[in-house]
Structure 1
Amino acid sequence: MSSANSNEDLKVVEICAGAGGQSLGLERAGFRHQLAVELDGHAVATLKRNQPDWEVRQGDVADAGVWDPEEYKGVDLFAGGVPCPPFSIAGKQMGATDERDLFAWAIEACGRMQPRALLLENVRGLSANRFSAYRQHVLDQLHEYGYVGEWKLLHASDFGVPQLRPRFVLVAMAKEHAEYFTWPETLGTPKPTVGETLLDLMQARGWEGAEDWAKRADSIAPTIVGGSKRHGGADLGPTRAKRAWAELGVDALGVADAAPGPGWEPGPGVPGPKLTTEMVARIQGWKGGFSEWQFEGRKTAVYRQIGNAFPPPVAEAVGRSIARALRKEGPRHELIESTSAVHDPVYKVLRGATRPLAADQIIAKLAKAGISMDVPEVERHLSHLGRDFEVQTIQRSSGAYAYTLGEFKAFTGQEDHQRHDFFVHQRAKIS
């Protein structure tokens, strides 16, 4: 893996680039795009409008006809925000068996590309116990490729974004650089509120009630959701989120074409004005130095691009931490691998086993490692494992069941994987 001069821009290849939230943040952190790949035509048009000098390609990132990861071997950073539905509650948390899952494919591509660093972000759901074995498999795979990986749950509101928006982020790099990596420091309090963030936009057309509205909207926003092409037009989220928006004086049942004008008053049962796409973009972090970004498409398409984005300030903060580590700036520290971090101990036991193990044998091996677990807990882990991995079960003469960990079910590029047929038939509905 090559080294980088501290005076030179670092290079990044980004997949599932969307409308450029992560792209913009990484650019401000000192990275320059060698390539950006995105499926959605509106998002591609947005990227090309804002970054006409970039190489932007439209298509399925797993399609060899769109790009070849091996052509970018040794790039400084391989980054992306792969599809969230496989790990979200709304997407039923199907994980490796969800044909939209590209996380495992991205890890495989990382092994082929051998970038100096990897950055992948996804929804909070990936941090749940349901996916502990999936995460463990990812870290083990990265270790085999020569990387030290670490997961971290980041909240956008800790980086100046007036929104909850927790994102689960994976950063991996070679040991020589991982020793210098630290997660970015948060900005602390006070956190910007929806009211102070949007006041000038609410006043833009002369609405007299803007200042009173801003006083009411004195908290951060619930998570902006981009929604899916499978569903209807733009609105600000599920029922629970709509209630939270109503408390802030925002009508979440859609997106407005313009800010309220002089004399505007909410109708019966309406908590306040709707937000425009410009307002939503600002809540997503397109403000200050990020505010000149222009989105292509009609209102719903623009809203979805914004809602599905990684907030630029968060991407910038993580990007700066990665850049410092690649340049070996700052103090060295103990690597996470030296602390033997384990996400799923049952997975680790079965992965290292040379023969089928019964629940009591798994418990005994865990006890030797100082981990206490009873039979119901082991069975819960096995149930989760069976959703993402082939788990072979045999019944012994004693009546007890023994288990062997088999293949990972996720798509990693297999030519005979069911994802190919799904993609052909559902492409128009994939977000």
Structure 2
Amino acid sequence: MSSLRVVEICAGAGGQALGLELAGFEHALAVELDPMASETLRKNRPEWDVRTGDVADLAVWDPKKFRGVDLLAGGVPCPPFSIAGKQLGANDERDLFAWAVELCGVIQPRALMLENVRGLSAPRFSAYRQHVLDRLNELGYVADWRLLQASDYGVPQLRPRFVLVALSKDDAPYFTWPEATPVGRTVGEELVDLMAANGWKHAEHWATRANKIAPTIVGGSKKHGGADLGPTRAKRAWRELGVDGLGVADAAPPAGTPKDFDPKLTVEMVARLQGWDEKTWEFAGRKTAKYRQVGNAFPPPVARAIGRQIVAALNHEGEPRVQTEAVAHDEVYRVLRAAAVPLTIAQIYEAVGGSLSREEIELRLKHLMRDFNMQRIESTSDDPRYKLGDFRAFIGQDDHVRHEYLAQMRSKVS
């Protein structure tokens, strides 16, 4: 049994949980909103303490009781940052990223690991990212972001994920990001045995058509219809691999299926493309519920690769690295945050050393206004002045709009 313990929030069906377990962590707690995903966790790990409900509800769990745990981890909701959505960020009622960061001040784990969609790495969220890094520094952590491709860590699928890792200042010098280990297997090679399971004699021929890695698998949400493999562009990519993306099959093609048939994937096939061993991890619910759990998961091999590096850091393995200053994601945010008085664009330009054009500064101010309570002070004799206000994200406020949203939309939140 590992001596390193993890609390996992927004645990889903266990993709990250399984990867962290394989890396050497023991689960002290797993919290998940969706009852079906919670049932999946209990089916596969009955010894785990799994809580079902709103992760920010003290009636579900009390973070103070887990103070000093080695790792706080989670896959917090992605719609606030998704390129396919409105990218509302801190204004999205579902956003839990900032709240998870604040948990570090309560639980005081040695390490934090949060993953989300690629959209969080976009320029739109540069100030959001900077706020997270600065806040973690205030709490005593050294943090870094990295965009990782699942296909670089043993998963036959693109699936880019933006990952935040933060460690205490004593442990951080021993952390390095995992080196890429490309999969080298195509969709066809990975799934040919499952396609042939019901006697389809042309499965090998199909596998030669499916000779690339998969596009990103999309799990979808409860707001939308049944299971399928994503938007129109994704379906075209699947069609090029000889896969029908308009739904998910109940079973592999039967023996008499024609040679040039484009089969649909089963839940088991999708699970394998996500990096699960479908024979050893059982998903609760009916087909659509299972597919959503699989499609929304963090691939276990990616979680394992990052988890192993965190384990190595917590055990102080190898030689410590010289710590360098973290990359600045948004200098405009940092200048306004440090300013004692409101600043004009010209003053901001001077403060950032001319590294950004006026147009770039104006764009970043627009982004800041979406995630922070910004004051724009007009003047008859000068340009407008800007003052940075509070972060709009949910960090546990009793009067935040998130509570009303969750009460009204509970059955549709996923």
Instruction: Please classify the TM superposition score into its range, dividing by the shorter chain length.
Output: over 0.9
Is 2:92 the partner of 1:98? yes
Of residues 146, 156, 160, the one that matches 1:162 is 156
2:288 maps to 300
Partner deviation per Cα, 1:318-339 (whole Å, 9 max, x = no partner): 000000000000121122xx33
1:340 CA displacement: 4.3
In structure 2, C-alpha distance between the alignment counterparts of 1:91 and 1:108, rounded to whole Å? 25
Is 2:218 the partner of 1:225? yes
2:268 maps to 278
In structure 1, C-alpha distance between the alignment counterparts of 2:285 and 2:307, rounded to whole Å? 28
1:402 maps to 385
In structure 1, C-alpha distance between the alignment counterparts of 2:139 and 2:257, rounded to whole Å? 60
Q: How does 1:102-251 map to 2 (within 5 A)?
A: 102-188=96-182, 191-251=184-244
1:214 CA displacement: 0.3
In structure 2, C-alpha distance between the alignment counterparts of 1:160 and 1:48, rounded to whole Å? 26
In structure 2, C-alpha distance between the alignment counterparts of 1:315 and 1:262, rounded to whole Å? 37
Q: Secondary structure at the match of 1:86?
A: coil
Of residues 52, 67, 73, the one that matches 1:58 is 52
Is 2:302 the partner of 1:314? yes
For 1:406, give the aligned amino acid.
G
Partner deviation per Cα, 1:162-184 (whole Å, 9 max, x = no partner): 00000000000111100000001
In structure 2, C-alpha distance between the alignment counterparts of 1:90 and 1:62, rounded to whole Å? 26
In structure 2, C-alpha distance between the alignment counterparts of 1:67 and 1:80, rounded to whole Å? 15
In structure 1, C-alpha distance between the alignment counterparts of 2:326 and 2:250, rounded to whole Å? 53
Using a 3 Å threshold, how does the CA distance of structure 1 residues 340 and 295 change in structure 2: closer, same or farther? closer
In structure 2, C-alpha distance between the alignment counterparts of 1:295 and 1:240, rounded to whole Å? 28
Of residues 373, 376, 396, the one that matches 1:393 is 376
Structure 2: give runs of 5+ residues left out of the alignment.
none
1:252 maps to 245
For 2:15, give the aligned amino acid.
G
Using structure 1 for the length normalisation, give the TM-score.
Answer: 0.94
In structure 2, C-alpha distance between the alignment counterparts of 1:394 and 1:191, rounded to whole Å? 57
In structure 2, C-alpha distance between the alignment counterparts of 1:301 and 1:417, rounded to whole Å? 30
1:8 CA displacement: 4.4
1:191 CA displacement: 2.3
Q: Is residue 144–residue 326 contact of structure 2 (8 Å, CA) maintained in 1?
A: no
Q: Is residue 246–residue 271 contact of structure 1 (8 Å, CA) maintained in 2?
A: no
1:397 CA displacement: 3.3
1:291 CA displacement: 4.3
Q: Secondary structure at the match of 1:407?
A: coil
Partner deviation per Cα, 1:49-101 (whole Å, 9 max, x = no partner): 00000000000000011011111001000000000000002221100000000
Partner deviation per Cα, 1:142-162 (whole Å, 9 max, x = no partner): 001000000000100001100
1:271 CA displacement: 6.2
For 2:107, give the aligned amino acid.
M
Q: Is residue 77–residue 117 contact of structure 1 (8 Å, CA) maintained in 2?
A: yes
In structure 2, C-alpha distance between the alignment counterparts of 1:359 and 1:291, rounded to whole Å? 59
For 1:257, give the aligned amino acid.
D
1:396 CA displacement: 2.3
In structure 2, C-alpha distance between the alignment counterparts of 1:23 and 1:258, rounded to whole Å? 27
Structure 1: give runs of 5+ residues left out of the alignment.
1-6
Of residues 19, 22, 35, the one that matches 2:16 is 22
2:72 maps to 78
In structure 2, C-alpha distance between the alignment counterparts of 1:366 and 1:246, rounded to whole Å? 48
In structure 2, C-alpha distance between the alignment counterparts of 1:248 and 1:200, rounded to whole Å? 16
2:327 maps to 341
2:362 maps to 379
In structure 2, C-alpha distance between the alignment counterparts of 1:121 and 1:22, rounded to whole Å? 9
Segments ≥4 residues shifted beyond 4 Å: none
Q: Is residue 2–residue 26 contact of structure 2 (8 Å, CA) maintained in 1?
A: no
Partner deviation per Cα, 1:195-217 (whole Å, 9 max, x = no partner): 00001000111101100100010
In structure 1, C-alpha distance between the alignment counterparts of 2:170 and 2:190, rounded to whole Å? 41
2:254 maps to 261
- Tell me the percent identity: 64
Q: Is residue 158–residue 191 contact of structure 1 (8 Å, CA) maintained in 2?
A: no
In structure 2, C-alpha distance between the alignment counterparts of 1:397 and 1:176, rounded to whole Å? 52
Task: Please report the RMSD computed on the Cα atoms of aligned residues, expressed in angstroms.
Answer: 1.2
1:4 maps to none
For 2:190, give the aligned amino acid.
T
In structure 1, C-alpha distance between the alignment counterparts of 2:274 and 2:124, rounded to whole Å? 28
